[in-house]
Structure 1
Amino acid sequence: MDISKQYDDQAFFEQYSQMTRSREGLSGAGEWSQLAPMFPSLAGKKVLDLGCGYGWHCKYAADHGAAEVLGLDSSEKMIRQARLQNSADAIRYEVQGLEEYSYPSQEWDCVISNLVLHYIADLDSVFHCIHRTLKPGGVFLMNIEHPVFTAGVNQDWVRDQEGNPLYWPVDGYFMPGPRHTSFLGCDVVKEHHTLTQILMGLIEAGFTLERVEEACPPKEMMGLPGMTDELRRPMMLLVKASA
């Protein structure tokens, strides 16, 4: 299913709206404590958010002095919610997929992509487009599902008879391509990429890697259901790269 259609499905969207990160914003995202320090100074800068969702990162950029912010998402429901919850004079939202955007040359100081690139088959083309649209010295901040997570069998634990997670199975790691999984009760197709593909793809596109981190939930979130199991395998990969 096309991912925009998936997120625009009413039942799916209602489930998504109940997630902690949807209700609480950046403070409810387990990776935020690691991603926030990666942001460069945004005062007076132009920021592009690819797959902006509810617009939390757009609002963060505007609140930190960005002169212009463009949030793109292929889901009409996401953009509608972003305009309701995270509007600001500096922010413009558009319904547009990141593979459809024109990426004008040297247009943006900072490009953000949070939890969307694991839906993209051709990462190399997107990386080259992002590098082209950044000004010299501009920053690309990326959060993508970790290859260990996307290579997980059905992206779920093997569980005992009581439903307790025993271990996280990984298979077909070196075979990139679509992975069918269940997310919020719906069938979803994601794209698996190896760590080599992701990091070398950035380098070959012309980026310099500034920081690479595997998301680890902060101590204050350890009381949430299932959060301690997030220490048993990485779920997200955070990268800061400069053009």
Structure 2
Amino acid sequence: MARQNIYDDECFFEGYKKIRQNEINANTLFEIPELFALLPDLNGKTILDMGCGFGEHCTKFVELGAATVVGIDISKKMLEVAEAENGHPSISYIHMPIEEISKLHKKFDIVISSLAMHYVENYEAVVRDVYQLLKDGGIFVFSQEHPLTTCFSSGDRWTKDENGKKLYLNLMDYGVEGERETTWFVDGVKKYHRTFSTMLNTLIQEGFCIESVTEPLLTIEILEKYPDYADLFHKPDFLLIKAGKKNCRNCD
């Protein structure tokens, strides 16, 4: 079955690029700081970045001391930007979907993925492949859209008052896992919903130890600067998980 490569759609790509060029976006304010806070010391480490996009994170990993970084992405458009704007002798960019990482035949100290896992249909297979690619004691850190977001399939996501203020989230189909289609710049963007328990239990069953689970929330300081993000008090946008390959105190 062909995998969706929505980031090579010209309309989608241009819309996404404009969002990332705006410094005031949810990624910059919430997801990226939390992702880097979960990372261990990168000095001398070998890193795989799954869904590397424009390669900004790959460059940052090298700046933080990583010895080598492999960035993979299914989008040729994204990788063209990565090569042009974030090239480095210690970074290798490879055109490859996340589902094919077993072809890399290389071991890594750390595997990282930023906001790409909700595009993966076979989560269990990818988790298994990540485990095999990690060295003993290796770390897997990833972020994705929050399950309270990915579960949504149709209708109004929010109940609002007469002034348009979001009062609460309309939760639906949380327990129905599988493919969802949404409109984001273009129609028919495919994502995959799975519950918290599926995500965590799959990691555990494949041999990982859960070291941290975080849901970046709004701070009073950010609220004062950017009041439009007040809805994060109702529902966080992102979920981040840090898992170790038999690398925590409670493991045998």
TM over 0.5: yes
Q: What CA distance in whole angstroms lies between the structure 1 residues aligned with 2:34 and 2:8?
A: 29
Contact 1:151 1:173 in 2 (8 A): yes
**Do the aligned partners of residues 27 and 183 (structure 1) sit closer, same or farther apart at CA in structure 2, a change above 3 Å counting?**
closer
Q: 1:27 to 1:232 in 2, by over 3 A?
A: closer
Structure 2 residue identity aligned to 1:43: N
Q: Is structure 2 residue 241 aligned with structure 1 residue 242?
A: no
CA distance 1:23–1:192, shift in 2 (3 Å):
same
Question: Over the residues paired in the alignment, what is the CA RMSD in angstroms?
Answer: 2.3
Residues 158-188 of structure 1 deviation map (CA, whole Å, 9 limit, x = unaligned)? 4456543332111111110111211134431
In structure 2, what residue type is equivalent to 1:67?
A
Q: Compared with structure 1, are the counterparts of its residues 105 and 29 closer, same or farther at alpha carbon in structure 2 (3 Å cutoff)?
A: farther
Counterparts of residues 130-169 of structure 1 (less than 5 Å): 130-154=130-154, 156-160=157-161, 162-169=163-170
1: CA distance, partners of 2:206 / 2:220? 36
Please tell me whether residue 94 in structure 1 is matched to residue 94 in structure 2.
yes
User: Who is 2:82 aligned against?
Assistant: 82
Q: Could you tell me which residue of structure 2 aligns to residue 8 of structure 1? A: 8
Q: Which moved more, 1:211-220 or 1:38-47?
A: 211-220
Counterpart for residue 248 of structure 2? none
Identity %: 35
Q: Distance in 1 between matches of 2:191 and 2:33?
A: 25
Distance (whole Å) between structure 1 residues aligned to residue 38 and residue 32 of structure 2: 10
Whether the 8 Å CA contact 1:140–1:240 is kept in 2: the answer is: yes
Deviation at 1:199, TM superposition (A): 0.5
Equivalent position of 1:224 in the other structure: 226
Contact persistence 1:176–1:194 (CA under 8 A): yes
| In 2, Cα distance between equivalents of 1:148 and 1:176 | 12
Looking at structure 2, the residues matched to 8 and 51 of structure 1 have their Cα atoms a distance apart, in angstroms, of 13
* Secondary structure of the structure 1 residue equivalent to 2:143: strand
Aligned residues, how many?
241
| Inter-CA distance 220–3: structure 2 relative to 1 (3 Å threshold) | farther
State the SS of the aligned residue for 1:18.
Answer: helix
**Greater shift in the superposed pair: 29-38 or 172-181:** 29-38
How far 1:132 moved relative to its partner?
Answer: 0.5
Structure 1 equivalent of residue 180 of structure 2? 179
Equivalent residues in 2 for 1:48-67, closer than 5 Å: 48-67=48-67
Question: Structure 1 residue 216: deviation in Å?
Answer: 1.8
Are residues 182 and 105 of structure 1, via their aligned partners in 2, closer, same or farther at CA, if it must alter by over 3 Å?
same
Letter of the 1:51 counterpart = G
Note closer, same or farther for the CA distance 1:42–1:187 as it changes in structure 2 (3 Å cut).
same
Report the CA distance between 1:14 and its aligned residue: 1.0
- Counterpart in the other structure of 2:44: 44
Normalised by the length of structure 1, the TM-score is 0.90
